Structure 1
Amino acid sequence: MLTLDAVLENLSSRLETLYEKPEARTIAEWTLEHALKASRFELLQRRKEEVSPELQKQLQTYLERLLQHEPLQYVLGEASFYGREFYVNPAVLIPRPETEELVQRVIKTYQHQPEVKLLDIGTGSGCIPITLAAELPTSQVWGLDTSPEALTVAKSNAEKLAQNVTWLQQDILQEIPVLETHSLDVVISNPPYVLEEEKSLMRQNVLEFEPHLALFVPNEDPLLFYRRIAEVAQQLLKPGGKLFYEINERFAQETKAMLQQLDYQDVQVHQDLRGKDRVAEAVWR
């Protein structure tokens, strides 16, 4: 009899060819929990349970994809963000914990202000605007992306999580979003900020599967998207409105200086939980 315990051990062992033992074990547990639609506690309670042929087949399919370095979130089709599960596929970046810190800063700033108007630029899976719509329920939220495939994912997540977000498909480098001038309280963005030269430092599962359009900027212009978004925000923010970015820690001071040169006020750089410069915040005059 093949038990869940035995299957878990096998998954962990096979994944140790790619990952350190603790990470391999965690991925194996998440995979099994997803397949069973069970919590970690339920998995422990059921570990002597016999595994059906159907479950064995499903887990084998997952394992084959994982052994090709495909990220777990794409294999399972979901990723956690701010306490919610979002559908993801290779058209969108996998949501990161650092981005939760960006979103949390906006929520804390505006949680007592009614009818906040927010635009997320480069929305991907929609995790930022959907979370803001849920956590700031009287707000009006827009999400913008150049990729129609990404917006399909974002719309699916908004429907799944029953949140009202208006979606815009535009290339921010080419045009200004069709919104009323000086009408927004917040512009927020986690734009591409990884330099092309940093590819060699990235894990294979990121480099081969996540969308390069959402990751990389040219080596010669690391602030390409930050500068353009700041220029767009000048036209869209109300006086006193705020711009929030997730940033590349290597260019924190350059990002701050750029915003000051564009006449933003009270420009601040905040560190994430690991002590890295991760969020820039600025007020439009």
Structure 2
Amino acid sequence: MSTAAGGDSLWTIGRVLTWSTTYLTESGQTSSPRLDAEVLLAHSLGLTRIQLYTEFDKPLTAHEREPFKANLKRRSQGEPVAYITGVKEFMGYEFSVGPEVLVPRPDTEILVEAALALVKDIEAPAILDVGTGSGCIALSLALKRPDAQISAWDIDEGALGVATSNATKLGATVSFRRCDALQSDVWQVGERFDLLVSNPPYIRPDERASLPNSVLGFEPLHALFAAPDGLSFYRSLAVTAPSVLKKGGHLALEIGYTQAAAVMAILAEAGWSHVTCHKDWERRDRVIQAEWAGE
């Protein structure tokens, strides 16, 4: 994308998008090269994607193109767009993200919607988010239900820093705690919750080779993999979550789309009732919910 004969006037927004789409396609690092090019160019220019098209024939100077070229190279090497721009939209809110946390996925919005439905008739519900990462689940719930009392746990200090920053940015109130949810002693708290929600690590280690470079090479691995079979966190939560839930409290979990039967069986064996599954936008199993009737 260098200046050729004729100067900067050759490099209009439209031509830059066409060239960069081809460049990203040839890199083999993205399944959405045009979208990525638009998002990165809009970010570099301080415009919206719609404004790119209203200014399609506007020439870009070399000075305007340089930061975009740098970001485009990062994307061609597999780095997620959200890490390059520093933000990702989720549930209609803009979250700051970085390599300390997973990039929020649209599928996880199914989990938030299920959680909201479970507490819709509860006044000032108490909710616990285990493995909060960027805080996208806990903070979305806090913004959708300002009356809720929400706590969020994570093992990683860097992730909690991102989540805390997002809480300040979005004006949401959540109580954050650093702890390892796989350790039984962390569940010895005086609080009782109406709902426990979690998007835990659920990828099997032997699935590592199937992951794209944009995930495997950049996102935090401890937030992705659960040895030995992708189900360890579900087994743990099935037996520890009841200790912090009110009688009749609920559990809502994101799962890998092949894991529904296994997770539902784990919960049923542990004594949970009304175990049901929600599908994602592609009609794949994505969220399991269950009720704890109490002993």
- With the length of structure 2 as denominator, give the TM-score of the two structures: 0.91
Among 197, 218, 227, the residue aligned to 1:209:
218
Task: Kindly indicate whether the alpha-carbon contact (under 8 Å) linking 1:12 and 1:21 is maintained by their aligned counterparts in 2.
Answer: no
Show the counterpart of 2:174: 165
Residue 178 of structure 1, CA deviation: 5.9
Show the counterpart of 1:34: 43
Among 228, 234, 243, the residue aligned to 2:242:
234
Show the counterpart of 1:250: 258
Show the counterpart of 1:262: 270
Give the AA of the match of 1:235.
S
Q: State the alpha-carbon separation in 1 of the partners of residues 24 and 217 from structure 2.
A: 18
Among 73, 83, 87, the residue aligned to 1:74:
83
Show the counterpart of 1:179: 189
Q: CA deviation digits over 1:226-273, x for unaligned, max 9? A: 111222211000000000000122221121111111111111122222
Residue 37 of structure 1, CA deviation: 2.7
Residue 6 of structure 1, CA deviation: 2.0
State which structure, 1 or 2, has the greater radius of gyration over its C-alpha atoms. Answer: 2
Residue 177 of structure 1, CA deviation: 4.2
Task: Kindly indicate whether the alpha-carbon contact (under 8 Å) linking 1:170 and 1:177 is maintained by their aligned counterparts in 2.
Answer: no
Question: SS of the counterpart of 1:128?
Answer: helix
| TM-aligned CA distance change 1:6 to 1:21, over 3 Å | farther
Q: State the alpha-carbon separation in 2 of the partners of residues 22 and 152 from structure 1.
A: 31
Show the counterpart of 1:108: 117
Q: Any unmatched runs of 5+ in structure 2?
A: 1-8
1:51 paired with 2:74, answer no
Give the AA of the match of 2:290.
A
Among 245, 261, 279, the residue aligned to 1:271:
279
Question: SS of the counterpart of 1:164?
Answer: coil
Task: Kindly indicate whether the alpha-carbon contact (under 8 Å) linking 1:247 and 1:279 is maintained by their aligned counterparts in 2.
Answer: yes
Q: State the alpha-carbon separation in 1 of the partners of residues 24 and 231 from structure 2.
A: 38
Q: CA deviation digits over 1:121-165, x for unaligned, max 9? A: 011100000000000110011111000000011111111111001
| TM-aligned CA distance change 1:63 to 1:240, over 3 Å | same
1:4 paired with 2:17, answer no
Number of matched residues? 283
Task: Kindly indicate whether the alpha-carbon contact (under 8 Å) linking 1:121 and 1:145 is maintained by their aligned counterparts in 2.
Answer: yes
Among 33, 37, 41, the residue aligned to 1:24:
33
Among 142, 146, 149, the residue aligned to 1:137:
146
Q: State the alpha-carbon separation in 2 of the partners of residues 186 and 169 from structure 1.
A: 19
Task: Kindly indicate whether the alpha-carbon contact (under 8 Å) linking 1:129 and 1:142 is maintained by their aligned counterparts in 2.
Answer: yes
Q: State the alpha-carbon separation in 2 of the partners of residues 74 and 11 from structure 1.
A: 18
Question: SS of the counterpart of 1:243?
Answer: strand
Task: Kindly indicate whether the alpha-carbon contact (under 8 Å) linking 1:87 and 1:125 is maintained by their aligned counterparts in 2.
Answer: yes
Give the AA of the match of 1:179.
V
Task: Kindly indicate whether the alpha-carbon contact (under 8 Å) linking 1:140 and 1:165 is maintained by their aligned counterparts in 2.
Answer: yes
Give the AA of the match of 1:8.
L
Question: SS of the counterpart of 1:171?
Answer: coil
- With the length of structure 1 as denominator, give the TM-score of the two structures: 0.95
Residue 52 of structure 1, CA deviation: 3.3
Task: Kindly indicate whether the alpha-carbon contact (under 8 Å) linking 1:176 and 1:232 is maintained by their aligned counterparts in 2.
Answer: no
Task: Kindly indicate whether the alpha-carbon contact (under 8 Å) linking 1:145 and 1:168 is maintained by their aligned counterparts in 2.
Answer: yes
Identity of aligned residues (%): 36
Show the counterpart of 2:135: 126
Question: SS of the counterpart of 2:39?
Answer: helix
Residue 40 of structure 1, CA deviation: 2.4
